[in-house]
Amino acid sequence: MNIITGGVTAATGFEAAGAEAGIKYKNRKDMAMIYSQKPCILAGTFTSNVVKAAPVLWDKKVVEESPYGQAVIINAGIANACTGKEGYDYCNRTAKAASKVLDIPESAVLVASTGVIGMQLPIDKIENGIGMLAAAKADTLEAGTLAAEAIMTTDTRSKQAAAQIEIGGKKVTLGGMSKGSGMIHPNMCTMLGFVTTDAVISKELLTKALKEDVTDTFNMISVDGDTSTNDTLIIMANGMAENPEIKDNTPEYEAFKEALHYINESLAKMMAGDGEGATALLEVKVTGADTKENARILSRSVVGSSLVKAMIYGHDANGGRILCALGYSGVEFDPDRVDLFFESKAGRIQTYKDGAALNFNEEEASKILAEPEVTILADMKMGTEAATAWGCDLTYDYVKINADYRS
Amino acid sequence: MNIITGGVTAATGFEAAGAEAGIKYKNRKDMAMIYSQKPCILAGTFTSNVVKAAPVLWDKKVVEESPYGQAVIINAGIANACTGKEGYDYCNRTAKAASKVLDIPESAVLVASTGVIGMQLPIDKIENGIGMLAAAKADTLEAGTLAAEAIMTTDTRSKQAAAQIEIGGKKVTLGGMSKGSGMIHPNMCTMLGFVTTDAVISKELLTKALKEDVTDTFNMISVDGDTSTNDTLIIMANGMAENPEIKDNTPEYEAFKEALHYINESLAKMMAGDGEGATALLEVKVTGADTKENARILSRSVVGSSLVKAMIYGHDANGGRILCALGYSGVEFDPDRVDLFFESKAGRIQTYKDGAALNFNEEEASKILAEPEVTILADMKMGTEAATAWGCDLTYDYVKINADYRS
C-alpha cells in the first residue's frame, strides 16, 4: 500500500466541488458534491440513534434498494434532523435537482446534512447550490479539497486521506474525506465520512469490508459521548481501475482492506484530534484484555471520561481517573493487576503498577502530557486482546462552542 | 411529615464534629465524625465501580457483617482509592483509633474518604484528627453543620436535610448530609451521603427502604458521567425515638419512606445543583414512557449529555440536542411523537411537537433557561410511566476545576 496525497477525487473517475450556497454560514463554502463518471456500487453505515435525520433515512434507502449511486450532495449548517415529513421531502427535492442537472437517476443521488437540529433547509438555496456545484465539479485534488472544506462545521481543518494498492497489475485507489467534530461518539460518531474507490468489487464484499473495519476505526472515537442523529459513512466503488474483481479470502481482499483501514483510521483520528475545542489527540490503548470486545469497551470508557479528558488538558498525570473509568465501563477485571503508562513524543512513564499508584516524576509526566498527541496505555493483565480508541481533551473552548452553537 | 432544620444531628442521640486535621487542605476543616450514643442498625449502598476504594471495602464488610455500627470517620482531600493493602490497613487503623477513643468495638466504626485517587493517607494526621473530633463532638445542629462542611471537596456549599414524622405517638426524626460534586453519575454518584434516624426499625426493612429509594434519588443524578471509586451512602438507625417497631406494608412504613425520600431527594438535588462549576440545577422529567426503567434511562441520558448541559449554560433552547440524547439512550421509541418543553420560574415553553421543531419565541425561551433551576420536560407519548433525573450545566469552571484538581 502506498499512502498518497488527496481525498475523494484521488480514485479514477471521481469529481468533486465545494460552493458558497449561503445556507446558514456567511462568506464560506457550505455545500459539496461528489460525482462519479460511472455508476458506483454503494455501501454505508449510519447512526444508531433512534432519532435519525431525514438524509440518513434517504441514504439508507438508496444504499439498500438502489443498484447504483453516482452522486452525493452535502450541506453544512443545518442538519435536517427532527424536521418531519417536510425535511424528508427536501431530500427528495435535492435528489431531483441533482438528477436533472447531472442527468442521472434520482435514486442514484445520496444526500447528507450536518449542523443545527430542528431547522428546515432553505431548499431554494440548496437547489441553487446544486447548479453551482455541477458547474464547478472537477477530478482534481484541489476540487476534492474544496469539497472537504465545504462540509466543515466547527472543524478547524479539513480531513482527507488516500492510498493506492495494486491488484492484478492495475492501480487501485481509495480516497476519503470526513468532518467532525462535536456530537462525536461510538456507534457512528457525529460525522460524515465519504470514501471513494475505483476498485472492481461486489456490493456484498464492499459492505463486508466496511462493516468489519468501522468497528475498529470510526466506532472507536469519541469527542463528547453524544451520538448524533446524522452520522453517515458512505463508500462508493465505480470499478474504473479495471482490476480483476476482488474476491473474499484472497490476498487482494486483504490489500484492499488494509488500504480501507488506513483511510478510515486516518479520517477517524483526524476527527478525534479536531474535536470541538481540542488541543490534543488522545489515544487509549488497552492491552491484556480477556476478549476483544472488552478491550474495545474499556478503551472507549477511558477516552470518553470527562475527568480523563480534562486532566489531559491540564497535563496532569492522574492515573486514578483512568482506573476509575476502566472500573465503571461495565467490564469485569481485577483492579489489583492493572498497569498504567503515559506515552508521547516526549517519552513514556509508568504511573500505576498492579492497580496501585507509583511514585513517579510529575514534571516528566507533565511534559509527556503536554504533547499534541498523547497515548494512555492500560495493561489489564487478564488475557491477550487489545483495542485502541481515540478522543481529545476537554477544554474551555468545547464549552464555549457548545454553549453558543446556534448563534 | 414535617421538614425541619438540621442534618445528621437532628435525630435523637446523634452527635457530630468537624476538625482541621491538615490532611491535604490548609486552613479548613477536612475531617468529620458522626457518633451515636447507642449502637445503630446499619444499611448502605456503594459504588458499582469495579475499582472500589479501601473505605468502600471496609464499610461493605461492616454493613454486611457487624450487628451494629456506632461511628463514622470521614476525611476529605484524599480518597484512599487505588492504594492497595496499605490503604486498607489505614481503614483498620482509623477504626482502631476511633474504637479506642470512643470506647466502642472496631467493627462498629465506618470510614469514608473523598478526594484524590492513588495517594496514601497520612495516618498519623488521621489518628490525631480522631482525637480532636471525639473531644469536639456534640448533638447540636451546629455540630452537624460543622461535619457537613468538613466533608466538602470541590463543593461550594454544605448539604443537609432533616424531617420528622410521628409513629405510635413518638416523634421519629431523620437527618442527613452529603457531599458532591465531581465524578457524579448514576449507580452511586461520587458522593458520600450519611443519613441518621432514631427510628426503631429492623435491619432488613431499613435496607429495603434504602434500596427502593436510591433508585429514584441518588441514582438519578449526574454531574459528569464518571462513577467514582468511593461512592457511599450509609443510613444509621439507633432506635432512640422508642416508637413501636416499623413493619413492612404499613402506613408507618410509608411515612418513614416518605421522610427518607425527602432527605435523599433533597441531598441528591443539592449535589446535582452544586456540580463542579455549575451555574444551574437541571431537572429532566420524562413522562409517557412505556416502562418505568425506560423513563429512568431516557431522563438520565438527557441529563448526562454534554451538549445538553453546555446549551443550558448558554441559555440556548436547542431541543434537537434533547431529542438526540433521548435517541441514543438505547430505549426504543417513536421519535415522531415526542413533545418537548422547557420550564422554570420564568415560565414554560414548548419547543417540539410530535418530534418536529416548533416556531417559538427564542427570547422568552432564553429567559426561562437563564433561571438557576431549569426543567426539561419530554413527553414520549408511548405509555404512562415517568421519571426525573437531576444534573447541572457544563461550564468553563468545570473544565478549570478538573484540569487542575491535584494541585
Question: How much is the pLDDT for A188?
Answer: 40
CB A220 within 8 A of CB A300: yes
Higher pLDDT, A24 or B10: B10
Decide if A332 and B50 are in contact by the 8 Å CB cutoff. yes
Which three three-digit cell numbers place residue A66? 438502489
Q: How far is A369 from chain B (nearest CA, A)?
A: 12
**DSSP result, A191-260:** -EEEEEE---B-HHHHHHHHHHHHTTTGGGB-SSSPPPS--EEEEEE--TT-PPPB-TTSHHHHHHHHHH
> Peptide bond preceding A181: is omega within 30 degrees of 0, i.e. cis?
yes
What is the three-class DSSP state of A81?
coil
User: How close, in Å, is residue A84 to chain B by CA atoms?
Assistant: 6
Three-point CA angle B308, B314, B317, nearest 5°? 60
CA-angle at B194, arms to B59 and B10, nearest 5°: 140
Residue pair A391/A275 in contact by the 8 Å Cβ criterion: yes
pLDDT average, residue stretch B357-380 = 95
Mean pLDDT in residue range B300-309: 90
Share of chain B above pLDDT 70, in %: 96
Q: Provide, rounded to the nearest whole percent, the portion of chain B with pLDDT above 90.
A: 76
Cβ distance of A304 and B117 shorter than 8 Å = no
List alpha helices for B66-122, DSSP H: 84-102
Contact across the interface for A357 and B82, Cβ inside 8 Å: yes
Beta bridge partners of A176: A161, A195
- Which of 226-245 (B) contact A at CB < 8 A? 226-229
| Whole-angstrom distance, CA of residue A385 vs CA of residue A328 | 19
Which phi and psi angles does A347 have, rounded to 5°? 135, -165
Identify the pLDDT of residue A181.
Answer: 67
A–B interface: beta-carbon pairs under 8 A: 228
**B310 at interface of A, judged by CB pairs closer than 8 A:** yes
Residues 244-303 on B with a CB inside 8 Å of A are none
Residue A350 pairs with which residues in a beta bridge?
A: A341
Kindly state whether A382 is in contact with chain B, defined as any CB-CB distance less than 8 angstroms. no
In which residue ranges of chain A is pLDDT below 50? 186-189, 407
> Which grid coordinates are listed for A30?
457550505
Is B229 in contact with A357 (Cβ distance < 8 A)? no
What's the pLDDT at B154? 79
Q: Residue A186: what pLDDT? A: 39
Indicate if the pLDDT at residue B186 is higher than 70: no
Separation of CA A28 from chain center: 22
CA distance B265 to B259: 10
The answer on pLDDT for B211 being more than 60 is yes
Half-sphere exposure of residue A7: CA atoms within 13 angstroms, side-chain side: 24
Per CB-CB distance under 8 Å, the chain B contacts of A180 are: none
Q: Which residues of A touch B114 (CB under 8 A)?
A: none
Q: Give the residue, A329 or B275, on which the prediction is more confident.
A: A329
Q: In the predicted model, is pLDDT for residue B371 greater than 60?
A: yes
- Return the pLDDT at B180: 80
B-chain residues within 8 Å CB-CB of A331? Answer: 50
Q: Judge: B320–A399 Cβ closer than 8 Å, yes or no.
A: no
To the nearest whole Å, the CA of B405 is away from the closest chain A CA by: 8
For strands A356-357 and A347-353, give the pairing.
Answer: antiparallel
Residue type present at position A100: K
Span B97-152, pLDDT tens digits: 999 999 999 999 999 999 888 889 999 999 999 999 999 999 999 999 999 999 98
> Which of A121, A185, A328 is the mutation pick for testing B, counting most B CBs within 10 A?
A328
Cα A48 from Cα A50, distance rounded (Å) = 6
**Which residue of chain A comes nearest to B313, CA vs CA?**
A403
Chain A residues with CB under 8 Å of B117 CB are: 318-321, 323-324, 357
Does the beta carbon of B57 lie under 8 angstroms from any beta carbon of chain A?
no
Kindly report, residue by residue over A147-190, the tens digit of the pLDDT: 999 998 878 889 999 999 999 999 999 999 999 866 555 344 46
Report the predicted TM-score, pTM, of the whole model to 2 decimal places. 0.83
- Distance from C-alpha of B275 to C-alpha of B154, rounded to nearest angstrom: 9
Q: What is the pLDDT of residue B131?
A: 98
Distance from CA of A119 to the nearest CA of B (A): 7
In this prediction, the answer to ipTM > 0.90 reads no
Measured distance CA(B99)–CA(B72) in Å, rounded:
11
- Judged by a CB distance cut-off of 8 A, whether residue A314 touches chain B is yes
Interface list for A 6-45 with B (CB within 8 A): none
Nearest 5°: the CA angle B353, B341, B395 is 130
Contact check, Cβ <8 Å, B229/A324: yes
**How many Cα neighbours within 13 Å face the side chain of B313?**
29
Nearest residue on chain B to A397, judged by CA atoms?
Answer: B396
> Inter-chain contact B311–A83, Cβ cutoff 8 Å?
no
**What is the three-class DSSP state of B323?**
helix
Q: Is the CB of B54 inside 8 Å of chain A's CB atoms? A: no
A352 and B403 in contact by Cβ < 8 A? no
Cell (9 digits) for B385: 410511566
d(CA A173, CA B268): 57
Highest mean pLDDT among A393-397, B328-332, B385-389: B385-389
Instruction: State the catalytic residue, choosing from B190, B227, B287, B351.
Output: B190
Query: CA-CA distances (angstroms) from residue B270 to B3, B202, B275, B283?
Result: 16, 29, 9, 12
Chain A residues whose beta carbon lies within 8 Å of the beta carbon of residue B189? none
pLDDT in tens, B15-52: 999 999 999 888 899 999 999 999 999 999 998 888 89
Q: Which positions of A are annotated as active-site residues?
A: 190
Give the pLDDT score at B169: 95
Q: Residue A313 and residue B403: Cβ atoms within 8 Å?
A: yes
Our CA dihedral for A336, A351, A278, A294, rounded to 10 degrees, sits at -30
Q: Is-catalytic flag, B190?
A: yes
pLDDT (tens digit per residue) in A215-260? 999 888 876 666 778 889 999 999 999 999 999 999 999 999 999 9
With residue B175 as reference, give the H or E element that holds it: strand B170-179
Interchain CB distance below 8 Å, B320 and A228: no
The mean pLDDT value for B317-325 works out to 90
Chain A residues closer than 8 Å to B54 by CB: none
| Cα–Cα distance for residue pair B400/B407, rounded to 1 Å | 12
State the cell numbers at A366. 507533565
Task: Inspect the interface and report whether the beta carbons of B50 and A326 lie closer than 8 Å.
Answer: yes
pLDDT of residue A50: 87
β-pair type (A373-379, B14-19): unpaired
